[in-house]
């Protein structure tokens, strides 16, 4: 027989289960991390995380370079699309990434060429101009 059940009765099991649920929720509520690895892996992580910019300029600041954070209206637009890295061309401190932009059904909307920079020992987006005409 379960020791918790015998000591605390049914309420002990409920309390234990509740604590487990809270811990699991807290573990899932953290900010997404940009993957580490090769520079291209990091750029892919930035591109995959562009939807997070829709949460506003504070969230976008984790992705964009200093002075390049979009305003509130532009941030919201990033949440309307999906992004797939097609290619990247990187030097030691800057580069470009060609990104396929898709609607939420996975249909291609267009491409954008993002400028990226290496600042403060990490890759950041300098510009990510969404395709026009949507």
Host domain of residue 54:
39-127
Domain for residue 2, yes or no?
yes
If one counts every other C-beta atom within 10 angstroms of the C-beta of residue 21, the result is 10
On whether both 3 and 67 belong to a single domain, the answer is no
For residue 34, the model assigns a pLDDT of 46
CATH number of the domain encompassing residue 51: 3.10.450.540
- How far apart CA 122 and CA 17 sit, in angstroms, is 40
Q: Which two tokens stand for residue 36?
A: 């580490």
Domain for residue 133, yes or no?
no
Q: pLDDT by residue (tens digit) across 79-106?
A: 999 999 999 999 999 999 999 999 999 9
Using alpha carbons, select from 63, 121, 118 the residue that is nearest to residue 91: 118
Q: Is the confidence at residue 12, as pLDDT, over 60?
A: no
């Amino acid at each position: 027989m379960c020791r918790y059940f015998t000591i605390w009765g049914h309420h002990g099991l409920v309390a234990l289960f509740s604590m487990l649920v809270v811990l699991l929720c807290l573990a899932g509520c953290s900010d997404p991390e940009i993957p580490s690895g090769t520079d291209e892996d990091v750029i892919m992580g930035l591109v995959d995380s562009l939807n997070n910019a829709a949460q506003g300029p504070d969230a976008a600041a984790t992705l964009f370079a200093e002075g390049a954070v979009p305003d509130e209206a532009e941030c919201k637009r990033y949440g309307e699309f999906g992004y797939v890295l097609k290619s990247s061309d990187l030097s030691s401190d800057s580069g470009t990434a060609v990104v396929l932009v898709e609607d939420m059904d996975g249909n291609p909307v267009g491409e954008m060429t993002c400028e990226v920079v290496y600042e403060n020992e990490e890759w950041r987006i300098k510009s990510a101009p969404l395709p026009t005409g949507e």
